[in-house]
Amino acid sequence: MGRGAYYVGHPGYQERFRTALGYTPFPGTLNVRLSEPKQFKQKESLRKTRGNTIGAFQVGSESFSSVKCFRGSMGGEEVALTIPKITEYDDSVLEIIAVMKLRDRFGLRDGEAITVSFDEKLVKPD
């Protein structure tokens, strides 16, 4: 859709991601479709945890949603799961960011299976 590039690449989010995660992410997301209902429930439960939250903000007349971030790894690379408060996706899609373009780094094509893990110690219950 290209909207991830706009939001993740926005200077307001870039600054906040750098503070929250310790790095400036590539301006875009790797969108991963989950395949099992159990995984949907796991993502849904993350919405109810604190995570590492970037607060909502406004630039001029444009409003930007708060985003929860959860650190993880994919193929030995540090990644972060982002869960924006306002999104076009339901709980069947993960929006993942990293310092590099993950699709290129791993040579991914649409429909390929991947494994991503998130550090449960960084997930704090509300």
Residue 53 forms part of a structural domain: yes
In a domain, 59, yes or no: yes
Q: Check pLDDT > 60 for residue 123.
A: no
User: Does some domain include residue 120?
Assistant: no
Is 86 within a domain?
yes
Is residue 125 one of the residues assigned to a domain? Answer: no
Tokens of 19: 């503070």
Q: Which helix (H) or strand (E) holds 97?
A: strand 93-98
Phi/psi for 38 (5° steps) reads -60, -40
Averaged pLDDT of the chain: 88
Q: Which domain holds residue 31?
A: 3-106
Domain membership flag for residue 117: no
Instruction: State which H helix or E strand residue 42 sits in.
Output: helix 37-47
Give the pLDDT confidence score for residue 37 in this predicted structure: 86
Count of domains forming the chain: 1
Q: What is the spatial distance between Cα 82 and Cα 69, in angstroms, rounded to a whole number?
A: 5
- 113 in any annotated domain: no
pLDDT of residue 121: 46
Q: What percentage of the chain has pLDDT greater than the value 90?
A: 63
Tracing tokens 């290129």 back to the chain, one arrives at 104
The number of angstroms, rounded, from the C-alpha of 34 to the middle of its chain's C-alpha atoms is 14
Looking only at the bridges linking them, the beta strands covering 30-33 and 93-98 are antiparallel
Residue 49 pLDDT: 83
Q: Could you tell me if 95 and 83 are in contact, meaning their C-beta atoms sit under 8 angstroms apart?
A: yes
Using the predicted structure, report yes or no on whether residue 125 has a pLDDT greater than 70: no
The tokens for 59 are: 């630039």
111 belongs to a structural domain: no
Mean pLDDT of 29-33: 93
The H-or-E segment that residue 13 falls in is helix 11-21
For the stretch 40-56, pLDDT in tens is 888 888 888 878 899 99
